[in-house]
Copies of this chain bind each other. A is one copy, B any other.
Amino acid sequence: MGYRIGVIGLGYVGLPLAISFSKKFKTIGFDIKKNRIEQIKKSFDVTNELSKEEISDAIKNGFEVSDQINHLKNCNVFIVTVPTPIDENKLPDLTLLKKASESISLILKKGDFVIYESTVYPGATEEICIPILQKSKLLLNDDFYVGFSPERINPGDKAHTFENIDKVVSGSNNYALKIITKLYQKVINAKIHPVSSINVAEAAKIIENAQRDINIAFVNELSQIFEKMDIDTTEVLDAASTKWNFLSFKPGLVGGHCIGVDPYYLAYKAAKIGYQPEIILSGRKTNESMPQFIFDKIKEKLNFKKNENKDILILGAAFKENCPDIRNSKSQDLYNIFKYNRLNCKIHDAVADVQEMKSLYEDDFIEKIDSIYDAVIIAVGHNEYINLNFEKFTTIESVIFDVKSIFPKSKGFLRL
């Protein structure tokens, strides 16, 4: 197959995908961020998804990256992997998706394929992306073809990678579906699951993270109820987990670019068509309430007042354990609540990039833990935190909150 692949958006989804495609096809990656392009050229991946070797091997074998869309003008398959975040009102922000579609429309040719991997609500590809692509004056299914194949990258997960997990694919017509299925079969060593429409593929993706969100919200709600009853939620969950069909979820902070975002996409679309999604939104509400719940517990234990001279340390700024990504992290919400209450709050992360930490938290970012704190919140379960000697930076009166229950109950730490 004489396919030349252009990948639009080289984040934690796009770069691994582009590298995989580059092993079988001529592949060019595009990103609007100049520094990301420079880093990739130096075989450095700030998201930690790929090793230096994997990137440099790909480059040696012809993989190219560029911040100029014209560089991709000879490609005939465009795969869009740009972020689809929410705005400050928790509404879908499709700016980057629209921009990517605009850029592609400038270089789209007869016979080309455009495959979207970015998570959207059902209907978005047909209602928003395709009209933009048609600004090229080319016609869908006559001149060019569209597909949707949801990304399933799990940041930091080395077991479930682009190449070895099952892939849902869809197309704008049967021919598109056939070609897109074949294309992914070339690069993926797992099952390709074709579905009957782009809507179905979009829906299949958006519900995956909504399901995780609601399940974590359920155990977060339990932890709020049981805390009032002086029942240890982790012990309850461990006991319930001895039942064959109990689902093991842990309470905690839900951040990131997927679980805390996708449900809003689905809720947006549902509301638009006249359905108020009770379950989905109650899940979001509960998960959003967790930083305040943790703050309230610490406040109750330390019995502090606003502006009082208390030293707080948050361990973990990333949105997920063993992951360097500090964007969309609920640790930041927790930090903001402490700052709003004018407490002396510092934040540490064992994995995140020092420069990124500095630019987000300025003087409140600490690289080394060398002071004594009144409260320490282990907000993220990075492996590095398990071996910490808490006696070095706490006193007998300090409060330690082990949000993710990474330590045994016998330690006597507060937990959800």
- Interface of A toward B, CB cutoff 8 Å: 122-123, 152, 160, 165-168, 191, 193, 195-197, 199-201, 203-205, 207-208, 210-212, 214-215, 217-218, 221-222, 224-226, 228-229, 231-232, 235-237, 239-240, 242-247, 266, 269-270, 273-275, 277-280, 282-283, 285-286
Contacts and interface: CB of A to CB of B under 8 A. Distances in A.
B122 A221 contact: no
A204 B283 CA distance: 21
Given A203-B229, A203-B231, A221-B280, 13 more contacts: A160-B244, A166-B244, A168-B242, A195-B235, A199-B231, A200-B239, A201-B239, A204-B236, A207-B236, A214-B215, A215-B215, A228-B273, A229-B273
B239 A204 contact: yes
Q: Which of A224, A277, A285 has the most CB of B within 10 A?
A: A277
A200 B236 contact: yes
Nearest to A266: B225
A144 to B, nearest CB: 24
Contacts of A285: 278
Indicate how many identical chains form the complex.
2
Nearest to A279: B221
8 contacts: A165-B243, A166-B243, A199-B231, A203-B236, A204-B239, A211-B215, A211-B246, A212-B245
Given A196-B235, A244-B165, A278 B274 contact: no
Contact of A231 (B167, B200, B218, B221): B200
A234 to B, nearest CB: 10
Given A218-B214, A242-B168, A278-B282, A122 B235 contact: no
Nearest to A270: B225
A101 to B, nearest CB: 22
B247 A211 contact: yes
Give 9 nearest A-B pairs by CB, closest first. A204-B239, A166-B242, A282-B282, A278-B282, A203-B236, A204-B240, A221-B279, A225-B270, A193-B242
